[in-house]
A and B are shown apart, each in its own frame.
Chain A
Amino acid sequence: MEAGTPDLIKLEDLEVGSGLTGRKHVLSLLVENKPGVLARIAGLFARRGFNIDTLTVGPTDDPEISRITLTLDGAVHPIDQVTKQLHKLVNVIKIRDMEPDQTVSREMALFRVQATVESRGEIVQFADIFRAKIVDVSRRSLTIEVTGSNEKIDAFERMIRPHGLIEMARTGEVAITRSRPDS
């Protein structure tokens, strides 16, 4: 190769993105089941100013490993930086940024709703439409269990709220990769 004529790239062709994806991300973490792991993750998010939308923790098939599923907003946080910081935690074994179309995700929620004699029928109908279950009944209220995507739960909440929402508890999403059609 002659001096001055190497196969160069042009500097002006080098580009770099903002790091923001603009969508919701579901991160699935496999972590060592050891004391303090959750505190390390929560502390990392707090001190780096990352805001978690939901976070769930639970066991996996391996008793030494737990799964943490967390969702955050890729329009606000550079997800790449979040995952790289998480990777630095020694107890974090694996991180998967779940692809929305290859992921099954579910959330469960419990709603306690005011239910008068007049409104009870309509609430039960809503519950049927959403394939929700009535899990507790009293003279003035109903407790309803709903499972589904968090959009479905948001929708159910909108339907039920006008009746008088007494209390709500949501689990946050858990997610798992879809199997390929041929497997």
Chain B
Amino acid sequence: MFYTRLPMRAADALCEALKAEGVEHVFGIPGGANLPTYDALYDAELIHIQARHEQGAGHAAEGYAKASGRVGVAFATSGPGATNLVTAIADAMMDSVPTVFITGQVRTDLIGTDGFQEADVTGITMPVVKHSFLVTDPRQIPTYIHQAFHIASTGRPGPVLVDVPQDLSRADIEYEPAAGAPHLPGYKPPSEGNIKQIRLAAKALANARRPVIYGGGGIVNANASQEFRDFCLSDRLPVTLTVMGLGAFPAPHEQWLGMLGMHGTRTANYAMDNADLIVAVGARFDDRITRKLAEFAPRAKFVHIDIDPAEISKNVPAHIPIVGDAGDVLPKLTSEYGRLNADPARLEEWWKQIGAWQEEYPLGYEDSEDSEIKPQRMIEALYKVTEGDAIITSDVGQHQMWCAQYYNFSSPRRWINSGGLGTMGFGLPAAIGAKVAKPDDTVVCLAGDGSLIMVCQEFATAAVHDIPVKVFLMNNGYMGMVRQWQELFWDGRYKSVEMGDSPDWVKLAEAFGWTGMRCTDKNEVEDAMQTALQTDGPVLLDVQVTKTENCFPMIPAGAAARDMVG
């Protein structure tokens, strides 16, 4: 249906504006203050996925956005509904996920009176949104929705919140479909990189003898993985990626050093440590990468390509800053670099050194001598049965790092995890969102038992909406990463990290209407996973792994890359 200047209820105009933005799915939970919006949803041709907790709705919107590149949308009511969204909003901010969160607010005459279910959600979320709007006039509602989508999806993407008082969404307005770019005088995201800077970067690279290309999630967000590959492969340039960037470069590959950072490979970290030039693309020198900042890559000069100028020289001063979209900058950099005919022989010594590290420090683990399932082996099995091509979501902790190490992601938007905020419980709702966005793809949530319990109500969401996600639970009975830290750095004084025998995951899954399975033998893992993938509907596979395996290698807190342990 198409309306032009038709009088309609503002809540209906909200739904029309969402449809005009191409929205098909929204995630959320109704409540008092957003009742008008839900009444409008009754008629709107939008598919609403009713989550079981607003945090779940928020992470589902993120999973939807990360899998598809489209804007994810979540609804919540005022007060507790809105505050329950905050973790997902903060998560979307840290990982630059294009999302729009629409919250109900109490009636305008109640705002500021501590009314029932009133919370100042624009105030609460101010530090963790790209932008937010508090509607003060019903005519603003469709305008703000269009502006929110524009802001969320352009430049460096991020979450935008629109807070809609209940009475205003009931008011009648004249709705006019938005035409053209919204009027935002203070919002001009950069796109094209400065060509002089790009030339300078190409020259520096052509002169570098020990270069490393260090890519991050910005490449995925810019849909510039192909351009990134073309650039890296235009010469024998060594490539590493952050946990957010995995998939932007096809692993395994002869130019691939593995992930870098705290649980990255020794090769990648040693290469950063010894590099003379580091080209950062869509990465932000997070503390998980630099570790001890004063000793980070001490021999290197830095080219930093990012769409967000504030990221450049924030943590590590850039010698050659390039502000722009990776999709615009990288092809120009490739062509400028190509014109210089750099001598590939200059990299021979460097590759010899890298080869020596790779030989001396391969990723590896000691397999069990009995039937015990080592967690790393579980990831290898996951890679095998999904042929390296599933959408994998994860929670946060050891399982996440093992997956990042051992599952060789070869294309972007297949690895969906919470990198910046490190939100335990992200995996299941994100998998639900990813599966809604990509119904034809296999979507597996690689869960941790400490994380999954935090969002287990979302089993109901998948069951009721018949969203056939597969949860492969790496169950070691611990909050494993915290246990690892207590073991290594707190004298083994384990405190509150054991999960005990509760719940019985198979029974829990079954109680929610899922298929529940269990695997305890390393020789049966692949078959069990295969069966789970072939079983209709949502399936939980409880894989009981070694309880106290540590995730190595690692750079301990306060240490430099060259001091990796394990």
Residues of A participating in the B interface, judged by any CB pair closer than 8 Å: 1-4, 6-11, 14-19, 31-32, 35-36, 39-40, 43, 47, 78, 80-81, 84-85, 87-94
Cβ of B122 < 8 Å from any Cβ of A?
A: yes
Q: Using Cβ atoms and an 8 Å threshold, which residues of chain B touch A40?
A: 126
Q: Is the CB of A8 within 8 A of B187?
A: no
In the complex, A14→B134 CA distance in Å? 47
Q: Find out whether the CB atom of A1 lies under 8 angstroms from the CB atom of B341.
A: yes
A175 to chain B, nearest CB (A): 20
* Pairwise interchain contact B310-A4, C-beta atoms closer than 8 A: no
**Quick check: which of B279-287, B314-322, B428-436 contacts chain A, the rest being far away?**
B314-322
- The residues of A that contact B339 with a CB separation of less than 8 Å are 1
What CA separation (Å) do A31 and B301 show in the bound complex?
37
A14 touching B204, Cβ below 8 Å: yes
Q: Known contacts A4-B345, A81-B314; is A39 also within 8 Å of B208 by CB?
A: no
**B276 close to chain A: CB less than 8 A:** yes
> Which 8 A-B residue pairs are closest in the complex by CB-CB distance?
A4-B343, A84-B310, A8-B207, A14-B319, A6-B340, A16-B317, A93-B186, A90-B131
Residues from chain A with Cβ under 8 Å of B186 in the complex: 31-32, 89-94
Query: Quick one: which of B123, B184, B200, B313 contacts A90, CB cutoff 8 A?
Result: B184
Given A8-B206, A43-B127, A47-B127: A3 and B341 interface contact (C-beta under 8 Å): yes
**Distance between Cα atoms of A9 and B200 in the complex (Å):** 8
Closest to B160 in A: A90
- Residues of B contacting A2 in the complex (Cβ-Cβ under 8 angstroms): 341
B341 adjacent to A14 (CB under 8 Å): no
* Interface pair A88/B317, CB less than 8 Å apart: no
Identity of the chain A residue whose Cβ is nearest the Cβ of B276 in the assembled complex = A11
Question: Cβ of B368 < 8 Å from any Cβ of A?
Answer: no
Instruction: Report B's interface with A, CB cutoff 8 A.
Output: 122-123, 126-127, 130-131, 134, 136, 151, 184-187, 200, 203-204, 206-208, 276-277, 301-302, 308-310, 312-314, 317-320, 339-343, 345-346
Residue of B nearest to A16 (CB): B317
Cβ of A43 and Cβ of B126 under 8 Å apart? yes
CA distance A151 to B136 in the complex (A): 43
The distance from the CB of B77 to the nearest CB of chain A, in whole angstroms, is 21
Please, how many angstroms separate the alpha-carbon atoms of A7 and B345 in the complex? 17
Q: How far is the CA of A20 from the CA of B538 in the complex (A)?
A: 56
Contact A16 B126 (CB under 8 A): no
The residue that B319 contacts in the complex, of A16, A35, A39, A43, with Cβ under 8 A, is: A16
Report the Cα distance A80→B312, complex, angstroms. 10
Q: Closest approach, in angstroms, between the C-beta of B157 and any C-beta of chain A?
A: 13
Smallest Cβ-Cβ distance to A86: which chain B residue: B310
Task: Determine whether the beta carbon of A19 is less than 8 Å from that of B317.
Answer: yes
Chain B residues whose CB sits within 8 angstroms of the CB of A93 once the complex forms = 185-186
- Which residues in A have their C-beta under 8 angstroms from that of B208? 11
Q: Which residues does chain A contribute within 8 Å of B127, judged by CB atoms?
A: 43, 47
Question: In the complex, what distance in Å separates the CA atom of A43 from the CA atom of B109?
Answer: 26
Which residues of B sit under 8 angstroms from A35, Cβ to Cβ? 134, 136
Residues of B within 8 A of A78 (CB): 313
Q: Which of B122, B301, B310, B341 sits near A11, CB closer than 8 Å?
A: B301
Instruction: Select from chain A the residue with minimum beta-carbon distance to B155.
Output: A88
A11-B301, A39-B123 as given contacts; A6 in contact with B310, CB under 8 Å = no
Q: Tell me the smallest distance from the CB of A77 to a CB of chain B, in Å.
A: 13
Q: Is the CB of A80 within 8 A of B204?
A: no
User: Given A1-B341, A35-B136, 15 more contacts at CB 8 Å?
Assistant: A4-B342, A4-B345, A6-B206, A6-B342, A11-B204, A11-B276, A14-B204, A16-B313, A19-B317, A35-B134, A39-B126, A84-B312, A85-B310, A90-B187, A93-B186
Given A47-B127, A88-B308, check contact A81 B203 (CB 8 Å): no
Q: How far is the CA of A91 from the CA of B183 in the complex (A)?
A: 11
**Least Cβ distance of A34 to chain B in Å?**
9
- Whether A14 lies near B136 (C-beta < 8 A) is no
Contacts of A19 in B (CB 8 A): 313, 317
Chain B residues lying within 8 Å of A4, measured Cβ to Cβ, are 341-343, 345-346
Chain B nearest CB, measured from A163 CB (Å):
44
Give 5 A-B contacts (CB < 8 Å), ordered by A residue. A6-B342, A8-B207, A18-B317, A35-B134, A88-B130
Q: Which residues of B contact A16 (CB under 8 A)?
A: 302, 313, 317-319
CB distance from B305 to the nearest CB of A (A): 15
Task: State how many angstroms separate the Cβ of A104 from the closest Cβ of chain B.
Answer: 25
Please report the C-alpha to C-alpha distance between residue A11 and residue B302 in the assembled complex, in whole angstroms. 10
Q: Which A residue sits closest to B127, measured CB to CB?
A: A47
Asked if B151 contacts A90 (CB within 8 A), the reply is yes
Cα–Cα, bound, A4→B468 (Å): 56
Given the known inter-chain contacts A1-B341, A6-B341, A90-B151, please indicate yes or no for A36 contacting B122, CB distance below 8 A. Answer: yes
The minimal Cβ–Cβ distance linking A85 to chain B, given in whole angstroms, is 5
Report the separation of the CA atoms of residues A94 and B185 in the bound assembly, to the nearest whole angstrom. 9
A66 and B301 CA atoms in complex are apart in Å by 41
Task: Tell me the minimal C-beta distance from B400 to chain A in angstroms.
Answer: 27
Measured CA separation A108–B274 after assembly (Å) = 56
Q: Contact: B203 with A7, CB < 8 Å?
A: yes
- Give the residue name and chain of the B residue nearest to A37 (CB): B186
- Of A14, A17, A32, A43, the residue contacting B185 (CB under 8 A) is A32
| CB atoms of A1 and B340 under 8 A apart | yes
B185: A residues at CB distance < 8 A = 32, 93
Chain A residue contacts of B131, Cβ below 8 A: 90
B108 to chain A, nearest CB (A): 13
| Closest A residue to B209 using CB positions | A11
Chain A hits for B308, CB < 8 A: 88
Chain A, residue nearest B317 (CB): A16
A18 to B317, CA, bound (A): 8
Between A47, A87, A90, the greatest number of chain B beta carbons within 10 A of the residue's beta carbon is seen for A90
Q: A35-B136, A36-B122, A93-B186 are in contact. Are A10 and B207 (CB under 8 A)?
A: yes
A77 to B141, CA, bound (A): 39
Please determine whether B319 and A81 come into contact, CB atoms closer than 8 angstroms. no
Bound CA span A32–B184, Å: 10
Q: Which residues on B sit within 8 Å (CB–CB) of A17?
A: 317
CB contacts (< 8 Å) of B204 on chain A: these are: 8-9, 11, 14
In the complex, A169 Cα to B346 Cα: how many Å?
A: 66
- Bound state CA distance, A17 and B319, in angstroms? 9
Is the beta-carbon distance between B313 and A14 smaller than 8 angstroms? no
For residue B101, give the distance in angstroms from its CB to the closest CB of chain A.
16
Q: Select from chain B the residue with minimum beta-carbon distance to A95.
A: B186
Q: Which residues of A contact B319 (CB under 8 A)?
A: 14-16
B207 adjacent to A9 (CB under 8 Å)? yes
**Cα of A31 to Cα of B314 in the assembled complex, Å:** 24
* Nearest CB on A from B403, distance (A): 32
| In the complex with contacts A1-B340, A36-B134, A87-B126 CB distance below 8 A | no
**Which of B185, B203, B309 has the most chain A CB atoms inside 10 A of its CB?**
B185
Closest to A8 in B: B207
Chain B residues positioned under 8 Å from A89 (CB to CB): 186
